[in-house]
């Protein structure tokens, strides 16, 4: 069962999804499909699992923070 915090984070990703670029969508999709697996991932592990660069993962989080 997802905690409130996990659910809230996933919901924010879902809400922002349409505004993401293609590479960011790959990361977002991976996160949404594997929320339990990514909890302990490093940026590099998430990037490799999503088939994007480390910079894309960082950009996703940075751009998401600016949208708050």
Q: What is the pLDDT of residues 32-66, one digit of tens each?
A: 999 999 989 999 999 999 999 999 999 998 875 55
Task: Indicate yes or no: pTM above 0.75.
Answer: yes
Q: How far apart are alpha carbons 47 and 2 in whole angstroms?
A: 23
Judging by beta carbons within 10 Å of its beta carbon (0-12, 13-18, 19+), is residue 66 exposed, middle or buried? exposed
Place of tokens 């940075």: 62
**What domains can you pick out in the chain, each with its CATH number?**
4-67 (1.10.10.10)
State yes or no: pLDDT of 4 exceeds 90. Answer: no
């Amino acid at each position: 069962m997802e905690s409130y915090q996990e659910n809230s984070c996933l919901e924010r990703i879902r809400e922002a999804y349409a505004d993401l670029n293609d590479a960011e969508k790959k990361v977002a999709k991976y996160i949404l499909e594997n929320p339990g697996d990514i909890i302990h991932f490093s940026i590099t592990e998430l990037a490799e699992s999503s088939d994007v660069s480390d910079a894309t993962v960082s950009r996703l989080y940075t751009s998401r923070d600016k949208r708050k």
